[in-house]
Amino acid sequence: MLSKNHGVIDDKSDIEAVGHRVVHGGETFSGSVYITDEVIRVLQDNIELAPLHNPPNIKGIQACKRIMPNTPQVGVFDTAFHVKMPPKAFLYGIPYELYKKYKIRRYGFHGTSHLYVSNKAAEILGKPKEELKIITMHLGNGCSMAAVNKGRSVDTTMGFTPLEGLLMGTRSGDIDSSVILFIMGKEGLSLSEAQTLLKQTLRSDRNQR
């Protein structure tokens, strides 16, 4: 960034703000926010919901704070676009007390992508987004779909974690929960090993072909 041959700025002070794409904001954030100590605390509280993503996100934020302590930082959350889905879309068929106690719900992810695609579709169609009902798709190694009504997410395929939904490169997607219990019993897998199986099965199969 500061390279004499390839850099795009002359000094760190040229950076006016830093934006961070953060995977999990839980139910707290419904939009982008200035990053404060309180915001970082919420991200830490949500680590158990996104153990592979939130810790690196936090490290990136802290690194920028050390290097540019006076530069504003903003968090843009993958979950924010979906946080206002109706209860019929985000509640699971489990006792309601478990949702209240552990915040087990469909959070949805890839929100920044779905928001952009729905707005871009409205632009291409030449219609206000408030008049449209759109199905958006985020396709890559991780995949998800969302139903967007009048510019707002009303349902999505990813759930409590990014594991739910469509079949993906290294994630099982939707699967009968009894299958997992069956495999754990037959193979003597621990909870951690079962989680790894769901996230790595497809990659392992490819390596064996």
Q: Which of 161, 198, 197 is nearest to 46 (CA)?
A: 161
Q: Are residues 128 and 56 in the same domain?
A: no
Q: Are residues 93 and 158 in the same domain?
A: yes
Q: Are residues 90 and 141 in the same domain?
A: yes
Identify the pLDDT of residue 9.
Answer: 79
Identify the pLDDT of residue 205.
Answer: 47
Active-site position among 14, 78, 174, 205: 78
Q: Is 78 in the active site?
A: yes
Q: Are residues 44 and 97 in the same domain?
A: no
Query: Per-residue pLDDT tens for 125-168?
Result: 999 999 999 999 999 989 999 999 999 999 999 999 888 999 99
Token representation of residue 97: 């007390």
- H or E element at residue 122: helix 111-125
What residues have CB less than 8 Å from 47, skipping those under 6 apart? 54, 55
Report the percentage of the chain scoring pLDDT > 70.
Answer: 94
Q: Are residues 73 and 90 in the same domain?
A: no
- CA 187 to CA 194: how far, in whole Å? 10
The reply to whether 110 falls in a domain is: yes
Q: Are residues 97 and 143 in the same domain?
A: yes
Domain of residue 102, CATH code: 3.30.420.40
Q: Are residues 3 and 73 in the same domain?
A: yes
pLDDT for 176 beyond 60: yes
- CA 141 to CA 81: how far, in whole Å? 21
Q: Are residues 73 and 1 in the same domain?
A: yes
Domain that holds residue 123: 82-162
Query: Per-residue pLDDT tens for 57-88?
Result: 999 999 999 999 999 999 999 999 999 999 99
- CA 202 to CA 18: how far, in whole Å? 36
Q: Are residues 65 and 129 in the same domain?
A: no
Q: At what angle do helices 37-45 and 54-67 cross, to 10 degrees?
A: 160
The arrangement of strands across the sheet holding 144-149 comes to 133-138, 144-149, 152-156
- CA 25 to CA 40: how far, in whole Å? 10
The full DSSP string for 31-46 is: S-EE--HHHHHHHHHT
